[in-house]
């Protein structure tokens, strides 16, 4: 991918100072600029790097005043940070714009495949699977029998989609994620015999799932991720869980079976939630917290394990940190009391 200063300035409605024909093929931070790269300057703390950068093009604000000679070509815009974000978006769009079906890909005869899809080497699409338009299936992706993948969804390399899974439109699933594996359920009254997991996973539109996540299929019915859910890496969702619209999970989150989570919730890293709970809309849970009971009030901010109101937790933690001192004071008082009893006795 190669772009000239003229092309980029046209895209950004910017003004060029320098070589209008200079071209770039990659992006860089201004302090790490190399020939053939484009960077930007918006934070004054990085101004010093402008005068020594080897980046071929740097995007800067229109009102920036040079204090020394430079060797790079400048593109002046109203807001450099916003303009560079637009370049990033364009670059990513071009980089991920893959099309065509590899000869080394397997597609079952009974599968239905939409228009303009990409299927990389060693991708597998099973019997009666349905693939929408503009879907991107990277190498070594497995899509099981009867699975459904909606339009404009991207499955990065190594994703595994078990049978019967339904994935909506405009979803992104990153490498190593497994969707539809069996729920963890055994019968202790029958020699721990495995309980068959015959449900599925349903993922609605506009969901993004990070790398190396595991989302278990339901025992009966569906494990559900509602529209707009966003997962970081390394999230585990157990059988029959339901995650409400636009809820966010940071890395290492774990949700046990049959818990229902509301809309617009935010869970920081390493949050654990036990099974069969109901979590109200707009709940916020801080990192390394554990939920052991249902949350019925919307918009609560929770902290700790077991988690409770964050403000109360912070106040309680002050006393917890001083607990050793309090014990020593009590021991001293008790000792003095005993000595006084002996003396007076």
Of the candidates 178, 186, 175, 180, the residue with the CA atom closest to the CA atom of residue 160: 178
Segments of the chain scoring below 50 in pLDDT? none
Inter-CA distances, 69 with 65, 94, 255, Å: 11, 34, 57
Q: Which two tokens stand for residue 246?
A: 């636009």
Rounded CA-CA distance 44/36 in Å is: 24
Q: Which two tokens stand for residue 183?
A: 């729920």
Of the candidates 90, 87, 89, 94, the residue with the CA atom closest to the CA atom of residue 40: 87
* 184, burial (CB in 10 Å: exposed 0-12, middle 13-18, buried 19+): middle
Indicate if 239 belongs to the active site: yes
Rounded CA-CA distance 76/71 in Å is: 15
- β-partners of residue 160 are 142, 178
* 21, burial (CB in 10 Å: exposed 0-12, middle 13-18, buried 19+): exposed
Query: Residue 204: what pLDDT?
Result: 98
Query: Residue 1: what pLDDT?
Result: 72
Q: Which two tokens stand for residue 202?
A: 């349903």
Residue 306: cis peptide before it, omega within 30 degrees of 0: yes
Query: Residue 232: what pLDDT?
Result: 98
Query: Residue 249: what pLDDT?
Result: 98
- Are 180 and 165 in contact by the 8 Å Cβ rule? The answer is yes
- Are 282 and 298 in contact by the 8 Å Cβ rule? The answer is yes
∠ CA 253-149-271 to the nearest 5 degrees?
A: 5
Query: Residue 321: what pLDDT?
Result: 82
pLDDT tens digits, 251-291? 999 999 999 999 999 999 999 999 999 999 999 999 999 99
Rounded CA-CA distance 130/146 in Å is: 7
Please identify which of the residues 236, 239, 252, 319 carries the catalytic annotation.
Answer: 239
pLDDT tens digits, 74-112? 999 999 999 999 999 888 888 888 889 999 999 999 999
Rounded CA-CA distance 135/121 in Å is: 15
pTM for the full predicted model: 0.84
CATH code linked to domain 3-95: 3.40.1390.10
Backbone angles phi, psi at 212, to 5 degrees: 60, 40
Query: Residue 201: what pLDDT?
Result: 98
Of the candidates 45, 44, 40, the residue with the CA atom closest to the CA atom of residue 65: 44
Q: Where are the domains of the chain?
A: 3-95, 100-312, 317-344
Query: Residue 10: what pLDDT?
Result: 94
Q: CATH fold of 100-312, please?
A: UDP N-Acetylglucosamine Acyltransferase; domain 1 (2.160.10)
- β-partners of residue 181 are 216
Q: Which residues neighbour 167 within 8 Å (Cβ) at sequence distance 6 or greater? A: 147, 148, 149, 150, 153, 161, 173, 179, 203, 207
Query: What is the largest distance, in Å, between two alpha-carbon atoms of the chain?
Result: 101
């Amino acid at each position: 991918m190669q772009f000239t200063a003229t092309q980029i300035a046209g895209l950004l409605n910017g003004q060029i100072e320098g070589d209008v024909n200079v071209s770039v093929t990659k992006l860089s931070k201004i302090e790490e600029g190399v020939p053939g790269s484009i960077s930007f300057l918006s934070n004054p703390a990085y101004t010093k790097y402008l005068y020594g950068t080897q980046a071929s093009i740097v995007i800067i604000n229109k009102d920036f005043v040079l204090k020394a000679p430079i060797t790079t070509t400048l593109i002046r815009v109203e807001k450099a940070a916003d303009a560079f974000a637009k370049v990033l978006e364009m670059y990513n769009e071009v980089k991920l714009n893959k099309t065509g079906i590899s000869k080394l890909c397997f597609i079952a005869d009974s599968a239905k495949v939409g228009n303009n899809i990409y299927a990389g080497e060693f991708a597998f699409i099973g019997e009666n699977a349905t693939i929408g338009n503009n879907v991107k299936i990277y190498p070594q992706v497995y899509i099981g029998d009867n699975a459904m993948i909606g339009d404009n969804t991207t499955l990065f390399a190594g994703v595994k989609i078990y049978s019967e899974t339904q994935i909506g439109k405009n979803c992104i699933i990153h490498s190593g994620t497994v969707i539809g594996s069996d729920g963890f359920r055994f019968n202790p009254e029958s020699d721990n015999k495995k309980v068959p997991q015959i449900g599925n996973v349903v993922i609605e539109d506009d969901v993004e799932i990070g790398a190396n996540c595991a989302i278990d299929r339901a025992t009966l019915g569906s494990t559900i991720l509602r529209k707009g859910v966003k997962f970081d890496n390394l999230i585990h969702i157990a059988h029959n869980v339901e995650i409400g619209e636009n809820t966010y999970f940071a890395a290492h989150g774990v949700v046990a079976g049959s818990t229902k989570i509301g809309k617009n919730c935010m869970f920081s890293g390493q949050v654990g939630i036990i099974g069969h709970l109901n979590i109200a809309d707009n709940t916020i849970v801080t990192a390394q917290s554990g939920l052991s009971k249902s949350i019925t009030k919307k918009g609560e901010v929770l902290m700790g394990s077991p988690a409770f109101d964050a403000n109360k937790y912070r106040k309680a933690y002050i006393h917890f940190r001083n607990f050793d001192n309090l014990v020593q004071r009590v021991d001293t008082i008790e000792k003095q009391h005993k000595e006084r009893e002996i003396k007076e006795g």
